Copies of this chain bind each other. A is one copy, B any other.
């Protein structure tokens, strides 16, 4: 199953970065980094009785103001039952507003309230702070490489979604 120049011998050249050892390091780096990546927001969320799922919803509602439930489902890749549970508490708590669509009245468009925007800011502040420190220490070239590798690691569908998010505001 593992073909290529790894699994035993390398092809000499500059392919040393594709050895099993290097790949394993990459895997472990993802694991430990993701832990750090989520730890700061997790602390804030916990103090409010929310979880990571709430953070994700808040993030993408902020990101795409007025997005529909269906769109959010596609981005997050969870079931509507799962998302709805989270969304319901956020709406009840007054952090998210759900407006009936004007063109299509079946759709609900989601917005952060002022209070929701406040929490969003708090969460993204700590997460951005960590990322900024990491970026600053690593330098622009490393950051470019970081983003390139992450993009390559995404499923094609998710990658398209990610890139679409970057371009327009949707």
Q: Tell me which residues from 91 to 141 in chain A have a Cβ below 8 Å from any Cβ of chain B.
A: 122, 124-138, 140-141
**Is A148 located at the chain interface by the 8 A CB criterion?**
yes
- Whether A155 lies near B18 (C-beta < 8 A) is no
**Is A67 located at the chain interface by the 8 A CB criterion?**
no
The count of identical subunits is 2
Q: Which of B1, B23, B59, B135 contacts A18 (CB 8 A)?
A: B135
- Whether B140 lies near A6 (C-beta < 8 A) is no
- Whether B140 lies near A35 (C-beta < 8 A) is no
- Whether B24 lies near A154 (C-beta < 8 A) is no
**Is A74 located at the chain interface by the 8 A CB criterion?**
no
- Whether A125 lies near B2 (C-beta < 8 A) is yes
Q: Which residues of the partner chain B approach A136 to less than 8 Å between Cβ atoms?
A: 4, 18
Q: Chain A: residues with CB nearer than 8 A to chain B?
A: 1-2, 4, 6, 14, 17-18, 20, 22-37, 39, 56, 59, 63, 77, 122, 124-138, 140-155, 158-159, 161-162, 165-166
